[in-house]
């Protein structure tokens, strides 16, 4: 095994992708507890990265915003600040878990040996040209396994058999089902009528239902779903740390392909993933500490009965 004291992780977005990198951090800290891990992430997800107790320093980037006005004075100033922050430490390794040209360019700004996927493995093959060491990792693996494999190869340790996100949440389980109805793409949504059937079933069984949301359209959908139910509550939009604690108290979580579903799985709650436009084999809900069952797939919409049958043992 290679002794790595200081390591910089590049994994900027999205919420689910960031959470899928947590088990790799836990692997590294198991074999080398004194490793100092810094992480470059989009500002919107900095609160997610701070949930992992093994991350020492979070370095925020805003590439999504920078690209919209790359020559403006505020963007130039923000980029200058980022570059200064990322160059404060000389790292033993800089590991780009994202595999994109933009993430490889961010890695190049830091000081240290740059590591990433090879041309056949990276999501954008051109990114591999910017790494000093590169490794082949199958693109058919789940995102969690790809991250674990790359970091293990970079640091030279065998992948541990046990899998853990590293998020130890202490909570008393409530009679609560959380329905994560919102997602970034309309083609990943599940019909509202299906959600209302699930809510009705849970309420009949004596369970409260929580409905999180992230923007105005999602909040409006949450209110439509809750309408007419005595024990369905639209949650406030709280910081990620508060949301994680709320999820940890649930009996189970049901959700479409969205970051909140992946957060629930990471904190150790039984989850059901509803997939209609993406493949759960590559990015499905991953449960290291509790069951994570994914239904559906590309062009396959799970039925309400499939979901209810899956959560039945947990409600019992």
Write the burial class of residue 182 (CB in 10 Å: 0-12 exposed, 13-18 middle, 19+ buried): buried
pLDDT > 90: percent of the chain: 91
pLDDT of res. 53: 95
pLDDT of res. 215: 96
pLDDT of res. 194: 98
Cis bond upstream, residue 43 (ω within 30): no
Q: Which two tokens stand for residue 5?
A: 């004291």
d(CA 275, CA 226): 22
pLDDT-flagged residues of the chain (< 70): 1-2
pLDDT of res. 207: 98
Within 8 A by CB and 6+ apart from 178, the residues are 209, 210, 211, 212, 246, 247, 250, 252, 253, 254, 255, 264
pLDDT of res. 2: 66
Within 8 A by CB and 6+ apart from 58, the residues are 38, 39, 41, 46, 49, 50
pLDDT of res. 270: 96
Threshold 0.85, pTM exceeds: yes
pLDDT of res. 289: 84
d(CA 296, CA 284): 10
């Amino acid at each position: 095994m290679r002794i790595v004291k200081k390591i910089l992780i590049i994994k900027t977005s999205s919420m689910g992708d960031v959470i899928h990198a947590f088990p790799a951090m836990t692997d590294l800290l198991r074999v080398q507890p004194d490793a100092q891990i810094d992480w470059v992430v989009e500002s919107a997800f900095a609160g997610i990265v701070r949930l992992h107790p093994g991350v020492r320093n979070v370095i925020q980037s805003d590439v999504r915003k920078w690209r919209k006005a790359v020559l403006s004075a505020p963007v130039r100033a923000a980029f200058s600040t980022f570059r200064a922050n990322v160059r404060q430490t000389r790292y033993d390794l800089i590991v780009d878990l994202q595999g994109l040209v933009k993430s490889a360019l961010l890695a190049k700004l830091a000081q240290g040996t740059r590591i990433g996927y090879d041309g056949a493995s990276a999501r954008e093959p051109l990114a591999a040209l910017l790494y000093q060491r590169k490794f082949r990792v199958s693109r058919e693996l789940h995102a969690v396994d790809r991250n674990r494999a790359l970091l293990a190869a970079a640091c030279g340790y065998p992948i541990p058999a046990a899998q853990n996100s590293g998020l130890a949440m202490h909570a008393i389980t409530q009679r609560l089902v959380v329905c994560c109805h919102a997602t970034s793409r309309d083609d990943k949504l599940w019909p509202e009528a299906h959600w209302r059937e699930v809510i009705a079933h849970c309420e009949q069984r004596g369970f409260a239902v929580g409905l999180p949301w992230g923007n105005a359209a999602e909040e409006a959908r949450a209110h439509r779903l809750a309408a007419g139910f005595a024990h369905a509550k639209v949650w406030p939009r709280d910081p990620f740390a508060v949301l994680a604690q709320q999820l940890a108290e649930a009996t189970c979580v049901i959700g479409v392909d969205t970051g909140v579903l992946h957060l629930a799985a990471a904190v150790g709650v039984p989850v059901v993933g509803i997939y209609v436009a993406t493949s759960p084999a590559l990015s499905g809900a991953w449960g290291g500490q509790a069951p994570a069952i994914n239904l559906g797939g590309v062009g396959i919409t799970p039925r309400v009965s499939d979901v209810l049958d899956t959560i039945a043992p947990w409600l019992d």
